[in-house]
Structure formats: structure tokens, C-alpha cells
Structure 1
Amino acid sequence: MKLPSRLHLAGACLIFPLAFGASAASAPAAVDAARIIAADREPGNWMSHGRTYDEQRYSPLKRITDRNVGELGLAWTARLDIDRGVEATPIVVDGVMYTTGAKSIVYAFDARSGTLLWKFDPDVPGIRMSEGCCDVVNRGVAVWQGKVYVGAYDGRLIALDARDGRKLWETDTVVDHARSYTITGAPRVVKGKVLIGNGGAEYGVRGYVSAYDADTGKLAWRFYTVPGDPAQEKDDRAMDIARKTWHGTEYWKQGGGGTVWDSMAYDPELDLLYIGTGNASWWNRQARSEGKGDNLFVSSIVALRPDSGEYVWHYQTTPGDMWDYTATQHIILAELPIDGKKRKVLMQAPKNGFFYVLDRTNGKLLSAEKFAPVNWATHVDLATGRPAVDEEAANYLKGPKVISPAFIGAHNWHPMSFNPATGLVYIPMQETAGMLSAPANPERVAHKSVVNLGVDVPDLPEDPEVVKQIAASFKGKLLAWDPVQQQAVWTQDYRTIYNGGTLSTAGNLVFQGTADGRVTAYAADSGKLLWSSPANTGVMAGPVTYEVDGEQYVTFMAGWGGIFPLILGPLSREARVQPEARVLTYKLGGKVVLPPPAQLPQAVPQPPAVTASAEDLAAGRTLYNGFCGGCHGLNAISGGVLPDLRYLDARKHAQFKDIVLMGARAAKGMPPFAGTVSEADAERIHQYLIKRAHDLRQEAASARP
């Protein structure tokens, strides 16, 4: 059959508009509150980010079980446009899948066949891709009454027509364009309002969550998570509470952080919206708040009224956070038997390594225990709800400290799931540790692509054998956790950290992708590995399952990227994968063959001669790791997401200063640093890269038989 030509409509690419077919709903994405609240009555759909408002990521579907999961085969696969980090949770409604890839590109697929129905590219400017943390990722869309909502990386919230991907409205969520605000999180829709937060704490932004009318895009309310300029603030109960916990006369000028860049959950019965907030800005508590105060509402769980954004209660997981211990990790609502009584609880396993169970009606702490190795605090006091910080182990203001977990966390953004049948939470846990120290007088670099932490993160050594030892200490695990007994029930070990989110099902299964390029299924009760299949790339996103025409499918969004392979390239290479962005959908008896991964060239071009002194090379290494290492990898070792600068060819060596200083590749995301980096320092960085290219060629020669 000859395929119709591609049509471009208002930025959308429309393909096969009739593919919705007679079996799909007459109105695509016809989702409202009633459908999401009653989601268990139509388990074949996945209509909200966590499937249900309680974000349990549990499916009642059980055609695929622990007895037949070994028969899973690939039903269809689709390549995405950009081979960068893929973190989206797909939404599936009435036979149509809505999902996103890197740069916030939205895709609609026929959920049975993988046929592309339409695509929308928000055209994020290249220069904006450098002005945010942790890759140009996106965690998915929300759907509501025929519309698809996406938060673009540059801070826009966009509504699309679910039928053809046409843009219906767009609003700018950024309150200050002089700051590096971004959006990577998935919107939620509650009571006709689209909820979205933002990222950028490391760059010095002020956190907030906003609600927009789902039909028009008009701002309904905005809740700030940290106080601003007191001279400009109106009377506000929440900010009155928060302001008392900050110190200094100009603390607000550095932004404060507390960004709402990921987790939310909603309880329709209590009519409470729960948000998780991020770390403080700067990390250095002395620099941001005179070393004092809890600095509310950073690293907190906050309950709000969804109609108005009114503050109801908060619980702070890490008071006075100075370790990047965000509380933006996945929030799950459930009912658990606590002390013989069924309680409405909220559960979270944030970066700091403690698993929290709260009474979600009032924010009271019910229990908190370590789910990973932790040395920054000995325990959490149940009477006060506060951690007992180990000053000797964790206060790097008094000298360098090796702190566990490291800034990448004991659990990062990768969503966990809860299975009511087993009573277990399945956590993508990781064991990490890292050294922090504080400079005497931290200075802010005024550049939108440079993070300002107020701390020194020591460089990794260049010795490959030492790097291997450090990489081996970073351990990834799938952890089955009993939230009532607050203890591990079973674990599965992985090659490295940054493994994918989890999905649990009524078929006694837990699905998870892995950093080392696999998709897997385990018995939910025992942890026995039942199925594994190659994915060609690291899999980080949380999988989903759905049913169409009586067939159950499981989908993994696959694609390696994010902060781990970007900044910690030398350590992430243990995953032994490369970026390849795909949708992978499986069913029982699937016969599709996954194409082999692309092979990258390995030859290192002959670099120019090193002409710098040892002193200038050392300075170049410091400059490189400070300005370049966050994207291209520390010590010029890329994790494979962005170019490894040891492989520069003669043409790029000749263009080096134009690229670094003048922005010759700004359209591709490489910002200009003229005015921030001097010409002499640019040459020092260049010489260091030349030296590292020679190092690599020498290593390659030594490895040959």
C-alpha cells in the first residue's frame, strides 16, 4: 500500500490521521477526573503519570504473569528522533500511546502496532539546551479532555490537540528569564488545572509550582517554595513560615532553590495535592543562610489545596539541606496497617537514603528508616521528625568529608512502585558516596550555563585503575522494601547505578529496565529473575502496561542519558551502553527482532602536539572540569551522551576558540563563554584536551596484543 505523504500543521507532523480507527474512542484522550479516579475499572488504559492519582504504578492486569512472562517477545519498536536521555512514562488511552523523547518532542503511536500517528516538536532553541541540569530530558505528558500537555525544556507549557498534535495554546511558565529555568517533569491535571514545576536550583532559581486552566492556559495560582525579596512579597502564610527559617539580609538574591521538578500526587478524598521540592541553592549553607536555619521549603513534601494553591502542611526530609538531598523523588499514596490501624499514608524514598512513611492527612511522621548506606545522619527522631545529623561525618564546612549518599542520591528520579498484593515498594536503589568541601569565599559565576554550588566537588583521579575501583563502589540494586516493617525483603544487584523505574502488576511481576542495556521482569514476591531481553541502550524510564483488544502489552522507553553519564562519564562507562532512543513494546509471543546497536568508530584522530607547561595543563584540567565536565564528562571522559572531546579532529581543533568563546556551535547546544572564560584560559582547556587525547592513544596502544 502506498503511504500518504507527510503533512505539516502548525509545528506538528501528522501521519495517518485515520489510524485512530473505529476501535478507538470517538474523542481521543477523553480523560477526566472521573476516569482517573475510577482507573481500576478500565485497567487496560494508563491515563495518568503514575496510572492513578495515588502514583502507585501498579496495574491490575494479569494476562502476563509470573508463569508465562518468559514468553514475552517484542511486539513493536519505534526509533525516536534524538539519541539522548529518555525518561518519559507513556500515557495510553483507548489504543493510543502519547509519550516524549529528548528536547520535549511529543509522539502519538497506535498502541497496538507502533504506527506513528503524529509528532510535535516544540523547537527548543539550541542555546537553551545548555542552560539546565542533567540532560535535555522529558518525563512525559498529561492528557485531559482531548488535549495533550507537555512542558518544554525552555519553560513553556504547551497544549496540543490529541487528535492531530496541533498546538492549541502555549504559555511561558518562567518568572525570570535572567535565570536558568527549565522543565523536565511531566505535568499532572487535577480538577481542570494543569500543574507544572521547574528545575534550575543549581543555577540559582527560586522554586515554585504553577497551575494553569486546562482549556485556556491562563494562570490559576502559583505556590513559591522559598521566600523572595521581602520588600516585594505580599502577605502569605506559607512564605511567612518559610522566611523565619532563612538568615542573612540578601539570602533571596541567590534564588534559594527548592524547585518542584518531578514528583506530585493527589488524594481526591482529602482534596490534597502533594509536591516534592528540591535542594537548596547554594548547596553551601554558610554561603546561602549564614549556616543557620531549616531553609523551608527546600527538600520537603508540601500539601496544597489544588483549587487555590493554599498551603496546608509540610514535612521536611532534610532540614537545612547542604548535600543536594532533594525530596523530588517519587511520592506514593496508599493505605497501610500501622500499629494495627489502617492509615492513609504517603511514602517517599528521597535522595538522602531514608524511607519515609507519613500520615498524609496531617504530615505527621510515622516511620523513617535507612534503605541504603547512609552516614550523614544516624537516624530520624520520631518525636521531632528531624534527622540526627552526624556533624563529624557530614559537615564539610569544617573540612572535606566523604558523604553517603553522594549528590546523585540513594534513589534519584527513577520512579518506584507499590504492589498492594505483596505490600512491597520496589525501589531503584543505589549505593553511592562522594567527597565535598567548602571554599572559604565561594564566588558566583555569572553565566546561565554554569552551575553555582558554593562547594568543591573533588576531581576524579585520571588513573584508569583507580577510576575502576571508584566505579565498582557505585552499586545499583532493585530493592523490595516492606514499608510497614521498614525493612528489605529482597534485592537484585546490578552492574552499576542509574537503573530504570519500576512497574508492578497483579501478575506477581515487577518490570524494570537496567543501565547496562536490558529489560527485565522479576517475581514480585520472591525477586526471582523470570525474563530478560536486550535493549541496545540504557533504560532509565518507568515502564507501563496496557491492554488493547484483549492483548496485554508492556512498554519501556529506552535511551541512555541524564546526569550520571554526563558529569560522571568515567564511572558511567561501566554500564557499557550508548544512547539509542527507542520505544520497546512487548507482548506474549511477540516476534519482532530488535535491530543490532549501531557501532561507533573507535579510532582516535592524531591530536596536535602538546605545547603547554605542566602548570598550564593542571590549570586547564581545573578549568575543564569546572566549565566543561558537567556535560562532556570529568577528566574529558564522556559517558557517551555528548561528544568525547578527546576525539576532536583537526578541523575542530582549528575551530576550538570559535566554538568555546564565540558560540560557533550554539545552535547545537554549546554556549559561548566569551566574557566568562578568557582567551588564555580557553587555550589552557584546549591544551588539556590535547594532552588527554594523547593519553587515550597511549592507553589504546598499550591495550593491543
Structure 2
Amino acid sequence: MIGSLLGVAIWFGAPAPSTRIEAQSQTTPLSYTAGQGEQGEVAYVEHCASCHGRNLDDGAYGPPLKGNDFRQKWGSRSAEGLFTYTSTKMPPAQPGTLGDATYAQLLPVLLQENGSQPGARELPGDPEALKAMSPPNWPRAGGGGLAPRVIVPPGPPRINPLDRIRPVTEAMLNKVPDGEWLTWRRTYDAFGFSPLKKITKANINDLRVAWTWSLPNGPNESTPIVHDGVLFIHSYGDKVQALDAATGDLLWQYSRRLPAGVAASIKRGISIYGTRLYVPTSDAHIVALDVKTGKVVWDQAVADPKKGYRMTGGPLVARGKVMIGTTGRAEGGNYIAALDAETGKEAWRFYTIARPDEQGGKSWNGLPLEKRNGGSVWIPGSYDPVQNLAFFAPGNTYDTGPLRTLLSQPGVTNDALYLDSTLALDPDTGRLAWYFQHQANGQWDLDWAFERMVLQLPVNGGLQSVVVTAGKQMIFDIVVTETGKYVSSIDLGLQNLVTSIDARTGAKTTDPNLLPGDGQTKMVCPHVSGGRGWMPTSYEPATRILYVPIVEACMDLVPVAEGERGSLSTGVRWTVRPRPGSDGQYGRLQALNLETKKTAWVERQRAPLTTGTLVTAG
């Protein structure tokens, strides 16, 4: 069965998580000071009045926060419950973003506007202290309600899956339990395959929504982690939430406060290992969170955003190392860093742009290091425990102009290593075991930056462990896992750039007429977003079929006016266009048999595909 793996929402149902807060035995009524009431009014006007109204009951977009209905709902419930609700659900567009101090300031104004008088004792801002306090037993209009000082017995103890969550071991990562999703594509080999069988073509129409959970506004591309009944979600705005997978209830939440001048960016994954969750941040840190509480265990800077670095991929954890690549246009290019999973200390660093005095250093057309940039790693890596190799995929550069025309200097090339390559690194040391460059001197922003699958295929009469990947051109390259030796390629036939592939080396020859930078408009297929983009493929090992989400579109590379840089430094910008002879269908799902190199089937639709794929055993 094939289904969508959504990067923007939780796909298997989420009523917003249960907001019912059971009444508990309380010993202390809520109290607040007049000063706290005044502070609460200021906070309310700034953050809440636009929806609920200045008077708390005259808003066009939010329910009344005073009066009989409000008092009936929240009377005799714990103050901690009211605080938790507001701090995790409000404001609806950006829940949890105001900070605990602001949410605590709002409680006094709610009490004040519902008839409670200030006193001498301050209301605490600590959620734990609020657990022992409750709002007044406000009487309902017309009678009814609890009598004053009546204590409602607590409900039955709630089962919290975090109480029984187990540490994630290397054995579990090497062989992921059937119901778990422990890495970006579930398993180290990046298959995106689930062995679960209950959902089949025969019963899929019987599925119903169990619960829903709204993510913060903004682009959300991260894949959740699922372990022991807990769903860990990393969403836009640097927020991590732990949810009960059975009910959708929020168990804990972590929000990153970004420094001034740093904007939130997308991320594509988080990792779990031991008792910690490893989270990339928009200010280029890795934060280790305790899986049971969401509290920070360590916080380590990986790069400096002031120098142009970002991290939009996700971490790979193997052999006690947390490995992640940087992105951006910093001078000297990007790198892959490995942190010690226990302490956060940097263990090694590998630069994705060859240094002038190292292997590949003369492949940059004579450019000094400070003029070299690119090599962003914006997709999480994969790992082969048999060979003990981690695989990463640096993309290309936007500064293509200096690489366009080869200099006539001995030993100098314009291949630009290690752009558009597969890098095989030793996770213990960061040593480069091998590399394979899929496209030399990429002048079109058609990255080979996506997942590297590690799988078994028949090669020369026997099974061989190979690494399989494709760039935006939808050409799949197959190389030997141990050595990087080229095996073969499969071209899906939706590109017009590569005219031939060397059967021995895999080197690609491109159409010289499509080289940008000569002042002419070039029509290139696919579009710069990719026939296949960051939306991942999935692989079914039993059938050796790969499921590929595709967008059928091309682009015109249009020269910009004199003095303008353009999208690429060859002086062009891109515009989207349909493929020649298009029938108006842009979305394509293609099932490719990697053993026979034949297409099993194709499903096309009008709308472009904007999600990855998931394949299951059912």
C-alpha cells in the first residue's frame, strides 16, 4: 500500500488534543495582587484582545473569557490546567510562542474580570505551583454549580506513555521495531518503508480520523519520530512537541527562543538515541532534549548564522555521533559536523568543498577558498552499519559564473568537488572513505542532494550492496556501497540536459547548447525545483520497486538585465513552463523496478505532487 507522508501535518488523524482537565483535590484558592492584575491587562490587550475583544466578551473571533460559560467551564479545575491550555493552544496561529511569563500574567486578568478580587499573595508563575491551586467555585447564574469549598475527588490516574518509554539503543536503530519510526526515513537505509500489514487496499476506506493536531503556521517539512507510543514533532518556529500517539494529548513542549536577527527556518528531521532527542535549530545549534520531559540536556553551536550558515536538514545519529550538515552561501562553503551524543562536544568536521591543498582542491577552476561556496547538505544522511559508513549529499552552488568556462591551467578542472556528490564518511573519525560525483560543474541548480538508499541488488550474477540516489533530473545512479564504484544509471526520460552517460564511469555529458550565460534563453527540463525534489522516495525491498513522486515541469533560463546578478551568477533567472507537448498533467507517481530498470506503473494527475511517499507491507 502506498500513502502520503506529509511534511506539513500529521497525517493519521489528530480532535485537537484533548483539552479536558480533570478536577483535582485542591487546597489553595488562587490569589493575585493588584499589580499582577494591571500587568495582566497589558499582556491581554497586546496578545488576546484582537480575537476576544477588549472587554473579554466582545471579540469577533474568539469566545468570551468572562461570564457564566467561562466560569462554568473552568471553575473547580486546576489553575495548572488553565495555564497549560492557554500556553499550549494560544494564540491559535502561533501556540506556545508567548513564553511562560506572559501566559502566567494572563491568569490574574481572567480572575479579575470574572469577579475575583486581588489580595496580598502573588499568583505564582510556576506550573508546578499552580497544580495545587484552583480558581474560585464561581456560582452559575440561575443557581447550580458546586457549593463553596466542595472538593471534587480526582479522576483515575492518567496513563502517560512517557512513563514507560525505553531508551533507544543502537540495536533498535539497526533493526527498527515494526511499529516504530526512529529516523527521518524510519530506518538507516532511508527506505521509507513500514513493515506493518493491518492497513490494506481492502480496508483503507474504513479508516476514520482518530484525532488531529494543528502545527504552527509556516512551512513544515519535518518527519515525526514515533517511539513507544509517543509522537515527537518538530515544526516551524523551532517548536518540538511530544504527543500521546493514541490520543493526541500534548505531553510536553519545547520552544526555542531565537536571537535577534535570526529568522525561523524549515527543518526536515530530528533524531532519537538513548534517552535524548536531537534537534537542529534555526540559529545553527543542536539541542539535546530529555525525551521524558523536553528539558535541555545540552545545547551546542554547530555554525555561525552571522556568517551565512543555516541547518535545514536533520541529524543522523550513529555510533554515538550526531552528524548534521550545514546550508547556506558562506565563504569557503559548508561542512558536515559530528557531535558526541553524550556531551555535545564536536568530534570532527568534514568540509563539502575541497580545500585548495587537499584532494579535489584543483577542481574549482583556480578559485581561492574564499571564492568557493555552496555544497549545502539539506537532507539528513543515511548509514550502513555493515560497512560503518555514513552517506551525505552536498548540493551545488549558485555562484556558477566563475566555473562556467574552464581555465587553461595544468591540472585544473571546473568539476567543483564535492558538489553534487555522494560522500561516504567514517562516523567515528569523519574520514572520507570514497566519493562519487554525480554531476560535475552543475550550472543549472539541479542538485543531487537527496536521500541515499542502501540496498541489495543483483549485480554481475550476485547480490551486491549498493547506494541508490537521484538528482532533480530524475536520473538514478547506482554505486557499490563499499567502494563507490559505478554500477549503472536509470534515466526516467523526463529531462533534456544529459545526453549520454559513460557506461564505465557514470560521467554525464550535457548538451552544450543548454549551458547558460551566453545571453540566450535556454529551455531546460526539469524545472529548478526538480522533477523530483526534497520530497523523498520510498522502496519496497520484497518487490525491489521504488516509488518516486515527480513534478512534470520545465524552465526557461532567462538572461537578466546588465548589472543584475540573477538567480545564478551566470546572469540568468528561471521561469516555469510546461513540458513540451504537455497534456496539462503535472503530478506523477512512478513505480520503478530497480532490478529490471523498468517502470512498473505510472499514475498522473493535474496537481503537482508536493509530498513524499510511504510504502507499507499491507
The reply to whether TM is greater than 0.5 is yes
Which among 222, 228, 240 is matched to residue 94 of structure 1? 228
Is 2:421 the partner of 1:300? Answer: yes
Per-residue CA deviations over 1:327-372 (Å, capped at 9, x if unaligned) read 2112111111234311101111211220111111111121112124
Q: Kindly provide the amino acid, as one letter, of the partner of residue 163 in structure 1.
A: K
Q: Kindly provide the amino acid, as one letter, of the partner of residue 254 in structure 1.
A: K
Query: 1:179 & 1:205 partners in 2: Cα distance?
Result: 11
Partner of 2:378: 261
1:168 alignment partner, SS class: strand
Q: CA deviation at 1:400?
A: 2.4
Partner of 1:181: 309
Do the aligned residues in 2 keep the contact of 1:15 with 1:118 (CA within 8 Å)? no
Per-residue CA deviations over 1:237-271 (Å, capped at 9, x if unaligned) read xx622212112343x22342111111411010111
Q: Kindly provide the amino acid, as one letter, of the partner of residue 313 in structure 1.
A: W
- Counterparts in 2 of 1:161 and 1:68: CA distance versus 1, 3 Å: same
Query: 2:500 & 2:158 partners in 1: Cα distance?
Result: 57
- Counterparts in 2 of 1:165 and 1:403: CA distance versus 1, 3 Å: same
Partner of 2:600: 489
Partner of 2:43: none
1:240 alignment partner, SS class: coil
Per-residue CA deviations over 1:368-403 (Å, capped at 9, x if unaligned) read 121241111113212121012111234544732111
Query: 1:470 & 1:311 partners in 2: Cα distance?
Result: 45
2:200 alignment partner, SS class: coil
Q: CA deviation at 1:31?
A: 0.7
1:47 alignment partner, SS class: coil
Which among 504, 508, 519 is matched to residue 615 of structure 2? 504
Do the aligned residues in 2 keep the contact of 1:336 with 1:343 (CA within 8 Å)? yes
Do the aligned residues in 1 keep the contact of 2:185 with 2:192 (CA within 8 Å)? yes
Do the aligned residues in 1 keep the contact of 2:456 with 2:466 (CA within 8 Å)? yes
Partner of 2:573: 457
Query: 1:428 & 1:57 partners in 2: Cα distance?
Result: 13
- Counterparts in 2 of 1:20 and 1:473: CA distance versus 1, 3 Å: farther
Do the aligned residues in 2 keep the contact of 1:154 with 1:182 (CA within 8 Å)? yes
Is 2:210 the partner of 1:75? Answer: yes
1:103 alignment partner, SS class: coil
2:434 alignment partner, SS class: strand
Q: Kindly provide the amino acid, as one letter, of the partner of residue 254 in structure 2.
A: F
Do the aligned residues in 2 keep the contact of 1:48 with 1:91 (CA within 8 Å)? yes
Do the aligned residues in 1 keep the contact of 2:564 with 2:571 (CA within 8 Å)? no
Partner of 2:279: 150
Q: CA deviation at 1:116?
A: 0.8
Partner of 1:641: none
Which among 409, 430, 435 is matched to residue 530 of structure 2? 409
Do the aligned residues in 2 keep the contact of 1:204 with 1:282 (CA within 8 Å)? no
Return the structure number with greater relative CO, CA threshold 8 A, min gap 6.
Answer: 1
Moved more, 216-225 or 414-423: 414-423
- Counterparts in 2 of 1:468 and 1:395: CA distance versus 1, 3 Å: closer
The number of residues matched between the two structures is 477
Q: CA deviation at 1:15?
A: 9.2
Partner of 1:696: none
Partner of 2:148: none
- Counterparts in 2 of 1:142 and 1:287: CA distance versus 1, 3 Å: same
Do the aligned residues in 1 keep the contact of 2:395 with 2:421 (CA within 8 Å)? yes
- Counterparts in 2 of 1:266 and 1:310: CA distance versus 1, 3 Å: same
Specify every segment of 5 or more residues in structure 1 that has no aligned partner in the other structure, as ranges.
131-135, 231-238, 446-450, 461-465, 508-705
- Counterparts in 2 of 1:61 and 1:248: CA distance versus 1, 3 Å: same
Partner of 1:172: 301
- Counterparts in 2 of 1:181 and 1:453: CA distance versus 1, 3 Å: farther
Partner of 1:361: 482
Is 2:553 the partner of 1:418? Answer: no
Partner of 1:476: 587
2:232 alignment partner, SS class: strand
After TM superposition, list the pairs within 5 Å mapping 1:118-137 onto structure 2. 118-125=252-259, 127-129=261-263, 136-137=265-266
Is 2:360 the partner of 1:242? Answer: yes
State the superposition RMSD in angstroms: 3.3
Larger helix share, 1 or 2: 1
Query: 1:458 & 1:138 partners in 2: Cα distance?
Result: 25
- Counterparts in 2 of 1:20 and 1:496: CA distance versus 1, 3 Å: farther
Is 2:501 the partner of 1:380? Answer: yes
Query: 2:585 & 2:261 partners in 1: Cα distance?
Result: 33
After TM superposition, list the pairs within 5 Å mapping 1:505-520 onto structure 2. 505-507=616-618
Do the aligned residues in 2 keep the contact of 1:425 with 1:482 (CA within 8 Å)? yes
Is 2:344 the partner of 1:217? Answer: yes
Q: Kindly provide the amino acid, as one letter, of the partner of residue 571 in structure 2.
A: V
- Counterparts in 2 of 1:168 and 1:66: CA distance versus 1, 3 Å: same
Query: 1:173 & 1:55 partners in 2: Cα distance?
Result: 24
Q: Kindly provide the amino acid, as one letter, of the partner of residue 256 in structure 1.
A: N
1:129 alignment partner, SS class: coil
Q: CA deviation at 1:470?
A: 12
Query: 2:428 & 2:560 partners in 1: Cα distance?
Result: 44
Q: CA deviation at 1:224?
A: 0.2
Query: 2:317 & 2:349 partners in 1: Cα distance?
Result: 15
Moved more, 363-372 or 278-287: 278-287
Partner of 1:270: 387
Q: CA deviation at 1:38?
A: 2.1
Query: 1:140 & 1:412 partners in 2: Cα distance?
Result: 16
2:382 alignment partner, SS class: strand
Q: Kindly provide the amino acid, as one letter, of the partner of residue 281 in structure 2.
A: A
1:78 alignment partner, SS class: coil
Which among 302, 325, 332 is matched to residue 197 of structure 1? 325
- State the percentage of identical aligned residues: 30
Do the aligned residues in 2 keep the contact of 1:180 with 1:205 (CA within 8 Å)? no
Query: 1:442 & 1:422 partners in 2: Cα distance?
Result: 54
- Counterparts in 2 of 1:312 and 1:414: CA distance versus 1, 3 Å: same
Query: 1:270 & 1:410 partners in 2: Cα distance?
Result: 31
Q: CA deviation at 1:182?
A: 1.2
- Counterparts in 2 of 1:474 and 1:276: CA distance versus 1, 3 Å: farther
Partner of 2:169: 32
Q: Kindly provide the amino acid, as one letter, of the partner of residue 502 in structure 1.
A: T
Q: CA deviation at 1:44?
A: 1.1
Do the aligned residues in 2 keep the contact of 1:194 with 1:213 (CA within 8 Å)? yes
Query: 1:164 & 1:285 partners in 2: Cα distance?
Result: 50
Which among 114, 120, 128 is matched to residue 248 of structure 2? 114
Specify every segment of 5 or more residues in structure 2 that has no aligned partner in the other structure, as ranges.
1-21, 24-77, 89-95, 101-125, 132-154
Query: 1:497 & 1:339 partners in 2: Cα distance?
Result: 38
Larger radius of gyration: 2
- Counterparts in 2 of 1:152 and 1:487: CA distance versus 1, 3 Å: same
Is 2:284 the partner of 1:141? Answer: no
- Counterparts in 2 of 1:503 and 1:249: CA distance versus 1, 3 Å: closer
Do the aligned residues in 1 keep the contact of 2:517 with 2:572 (CA within 8 Å)? no
Query: 1:359 & 1:391 partners in 2: Cα distance?
Result: 30
**TM-score normalised by the chain length of structure 1:** 0.62
Q: Kindly provide the amino acid, as one letter, of the partner of residue 180 in structure 1.
A: G
2:310 alignment partner, SS class: coil
Q: Kindly provide the amino acid, as one letter, of the partner of residue 92 in structure 1.
A: V
Partner of 1:434: 555
Do the aligned residues in 2 keep the contact of 1:431 with 1:473 (CA within 8 Å)? no
- Counterparts in 2 of 1:74 and 1:125: CA distance versus 1, 3 Å: farther
Do the aligned residues in 2 keep the contact of 1:157 with 1:171 (CA within 8 Å)? yes
Is 2:453 the partner of 1:332? Answer: yes
Partner of 2:396: 279
